[in-house]
Amino acid sequence: MNPPQPPKTTLLIAWIVVLLSSVLPKVILQEIFGQTVSPGLQAVMSLSVIFVALLATLIWQSLRGLRPFLALFLVLVGSQWLVYNRIDELPFFHAWLSNPSFNVYMLAEELLNLMVTLLMIAALVLMRKKRQDFYLAMGDTAAPVEPIRWLGVRQGERWNKFGSWLTFFISLGTLAFLVIAGRPPLDIIIRALPFLPAVLLAAALNSFTEEITYKASFLSVLESPVGPRQALYMVAVYFGIGHFYGVVGVLLAAFLGWILARSMQETRGLFWAWFIHF
């Protein structure tokens, strides 16, 4: 039996908010019209779209299910503006971010990201969401994988095997891209070894903050009003657009967002999304 389809109006408004509250308008203004968009203007544009959508929920009853999603989006936009445009300008943070030491500025940057994530988690708790609702749990790491024909995933496969293969191929592909694009000298591994502890810590924090902030949190407030599949697509598109490095960059990031968010839905946990990203 197929799950009930969400109202078309709900889907339309949710997609409009996702697209217009992302960096898509900024990308269009900069890449096509050559207009510079400041962080403040970006925040104002996103907040305006969200507020209009919230007003629409007062008029149309069918849109009321989107209120938790819109409220969480307000928290995201507001916390990003506060953390990345006010807190990072505080003298001690500015000094850390300007420090020539990789160990200092990278961990300072990840600390800012963590602040945004903690504000998102606080908002979800205030919405009376349990941590399992927004995938803040290990989950069933050997859960079945729904077949994905174009990836060669067949019926009966499980995430403990599929997740391992994804980790290997995505890491290998990323490494190959960086080597081809950057052409680093052969001795870079030796020179990078002193930074390895900071690299691992920064990677662990970055994986956690991005998976919670941009995927797990929004899946938890979108799955009910728009359905799990549409929620998956919206999270993937928003994540892809947020990594605009040309069309290829958007497509690769959207795919990564889609497969990692899918791992959360199927395992009901964060482990594989965090580990593959890490």
- What CA–CA distance (Å, rounded) separates 199 from 109? 12
Q: Partners of 148 in the beta sheet?
A: 153
- Sorted by sequence, the CB contacts under 8 Å of residue 20 that are 6+ apart come out as 45, 46, 49
Q: Give pLDDT, residue 2.
A: 62
Q: Partners of 144 in the beta sheet?
A: 158
- What CA–CA distance (Å, rounded) separates 219 from 269? 12
Q: Give pLDDT, residue 1.
A: 53
- Sorted by sequence, the CB contacts under 8 Å of residue 171 that are 6+ apart come out as none
Q: Which two tokens stand for residue 60?
A: 């149309």
Q: Which two tokens stand for residue 175?
A: 């490494």
Q: Where in the chain are the domains?
A: 8-277
Q: Give pLDDT, residue 249.
A: 82
Q: Give pLDDT, residue 240.
A: 94
- What CA–CA distance (Å, rounded) separates 243 from 19? 14
168, 173, 179, 182: CA torsion to nearest 10: -130
| Cβ burial 165-203 (10 Å sphere, 16+ → b, else e) | ebeeebeeeeeeeeeeeeeeeeeeeeeeeeeeebeeebe
- What CA–CA distance (Å, rounded) separates 187 from 47? 47
pLDDT tens sequence across 212-251? 999 999 999 999 999 999 999 999 999 999 988 778 889 9
Q: Give pLDDT, residue 3.
A: 65
HEC string for the chain: CCCCCCCHHHHHHHHHHHHHCCCHHHHHHHHCCCCCCCHHHHHHHHHHHHHHHHHHHHHCHHHHHHHHHHHHHHHHHHHHHHHHHCHHHCHHHHHHHCCCCHHHHHHHHHHHHHHHHHHHHHHHHHCCCCCCCCCCCCCCCCCECCCEHHHCECCCCEHHHHHHHHHHHHHHHHHHHHHHHHCCCCCHHHHHHHHHHHHHHHHHHHHHHHHHHHHHHHHHHHHHHHCHHHHHHHHHHHHHHHCCCCHHHHHHHHHHHHHHHHHHHHHCCCHHHHHHHC
Which of 198, 221, 217 has its CA nearest to residue 273?
A: 217
Q: Give pLDDT, residue 58.
A: 94
**CA–centroid distance for 195 within its chain:** 26
Q: Give pLDDT, residue 247.
A: 80
Q: Give pLDDT, residue 6.
A: 85
Q: Give pLDDT, residue 186.
A: 82
Positions of the chain with pLDDT lower than 70, given as ranges: 1-3
- What CA–CA distance (Å, rounded) separates 11 from 243? 24
